[in-house]
Structure 1
Amino acid sequence: MTETLFSSITQLVTPAPGPQRGAAMRELTMLKDAALLVRDGVIAWVGPRQDAPQTPHTQDLGGVAVVPGLIDPHTHAVWAGDRLADFEARVEGVPYEEMLARGGGIRSTMRATAAASVEELVNLARPRLEALLRSGATTIEVKSGYGLDFEAELRMLRAVRELQALLPATLRPTLLIHVPPTTGRAEYVQAVCTDLIPRVAREELAVAVDVFCEREAFSVEETRAIFAAARAHGLRVKLHADQFHALGGTELACHLEALSVDHLEASGEAQIAALAASDTVATVLPGVTLHLGLPAAPARLLVDAGACVALGTDLNPGSSPLFSAQFALALAVRLNGLTPAEALTASTVNAAAALGLRDRGALAAGQRADFLALHSPDWRDLTYTLGLNPVRDVFVGGQNLKENAL
């Protein structure tokens, strides 16, 4: 048994364990002059420093604020190539259709990714995930979705498996059915259901299946078929929906008890009501709003309606080159109308719920000892600071990542 008491914490701030909805997202517990006991990677006790149990191993955190480790429930961190030409063209006003005609857009990423080996994908993704870790993300979802070709999709997921062996954070792999082929669409969806999903499940390469439900991607009925195949093979389901158009995907996901619906920039009253009445998590992605200039997802309306709202980076080369979970938190306050307390809850226990996890995201006995020591004695610097990382130390299972020279 290993045991360490972390003390000299000016503010220990945490949501309650488990997903929080509506007004409860603002209800944080703050302990001043606190301490935290970690035993074998799990929190054993939290409370005032003067009441701390005796233990031979202590660590003085130096009078700073401590919050739970952040959880990033939506990334596309495995890709090859770049989209710099697309970025330059977009700021010059070039339509996306013209970028595609020039050979750019998402299909350029798909070509580059499909041509990369597992080793190349690992080498490209590792520094991206390390950046997320340094920003405070201790659990990170990583999607496939840039392969189209099934073997390329499998290589992406195998890269995530190899990355998990290299990084201290928890990686949650997701098979993303992202972009339909230009021909043979019905046959492709059928093959996804009868070939790709069974192979992924058999090799245990993913814990969930995600679908992009949009006019330019997959229909509601195609999504329903893919979800049925995923669940038949023991995989949870998630959805990209309402990024540009509200087609009914959000309502389908809520009806089928999907883990989360992500994006939601185009969500209206019906979608907000469906999410508020369900256990499906509404995940907002402010990096997309910043980078593409899209309307912000209605996080304020979702919270006020009683929904469970989470927050992610959507790290990807095309629409959200955002390598900081902390910066996503700061953006959500400015762009999506969340309060600092709501943003912290959205980035911790609610983000965990979006991944089907209940054992992390809060500083309470029995939870994983994933937590952050800030540079500041006031936890609100986590949502206030822009352009400078307010996270001093990242602890995963009670171990400081600085010890691993991350």
Structure 2
Amino acid sequence: MTDFRYATVVVIGAGQAGLSAGFHLQRAGFASALDGAGAGAGSADIRSFVMLDANPAAGGAWQHRWESLRVRTLNAIFDLPRMSKPDMNPDEPSSTAVSRYFAEFEAANELPIERPVRVSEVRRAGAEAGTAEAGTAGGGYVVETDAGTWHAEYLINATGTWNNPVQPEYPGADTFLGLQQHTRDYVRLEDFAGLRTAVVGGGISALQQLEEISRVTDVLWYTRRPPEWMDTEFDTQAGREVIQRVTSDVEAGRVTGSVVSYTGLPANGLYVRAAKARGVLKRRPMFVAIEPHGVREADGTFTSLDAIVWATGFKGDLAHLEGLGLRTSAGGITMRGTEVLGEPALHLIGFGPSQSTVGANRAGRDAVRAIERQLAGPLPATIA
């Protein structure tokens, strides 16, 4: 018989989306599964939840941001539910400032978080041995982790993208003798002092690192296509339009792009203005191959380099869900709100339309409301 622990809801991830879900579960009366609430009972009267976080401390992906990314250069940090963010020193690294805020939120709400716990696989419980002890008749999900097995009636996935960096394959990449790293591994601009560097990517992180590294060395900027600049302020109406576009893609089962692929780049951002003033905001078409000491340009010429930074973004960290067969033929995951179509007990938050921090907050709330409705039973047709 399989040893496992039981929770009505398992939340995977404790970044902004996960914390929002945890907050709303607690407000809805779900107890901590870490205290044994509902263990082995399967009773609708005893609802419990647990949050599993792969990180060693509070802060989600923020704790891993590069040291030179300061509070003053951030686009925005939205408040967590019912806890306004404190005043932050604009010169403090965002990794410590935001992580401290998240830690205070966790402590104030006494959320049942286990960390570091990495989820390796999620599968449907089926008739698996042991699940009947929870009174579930074999329903729900089995969540395998490096710290044991959980059985959950409902799953809220809030794993974000940090652990799934995208690094394109280019001929000769393995022959390059200089420094190569992804944004995920970037720590500080001083590491590039005196190294002629290529920054690859058309997103906000690429622009930030382009501007930063250009303070200490020569930098070249490469993108697959010319950037689209957003000349106006990103207001509420523009935000709604972007969310609608992303929602349309998700509901059609299409793969969604990065946030900036929908919004465009902020032409008046602080780092954009600084890069422009320094004369480095000059986009080059992508090179076609990498050689030991540089890259071969599209026109056949050679450019010498000492380092390449792949600021090429991230995709949803969903490898642990692959066994559920959620993807469409187009490679996306079809959703209605936070719910995966055809998988009503599984909710994805901080994904698709809720990739932004404000969207993540709302998605956490919406997922919990959906689970409450499901636990209450089928809605009348006139309401549904």
Between Structure 1 and Structure 2, the one with more helix by share is 1
When normalised by structure 1's length, the TM-score is 0.21
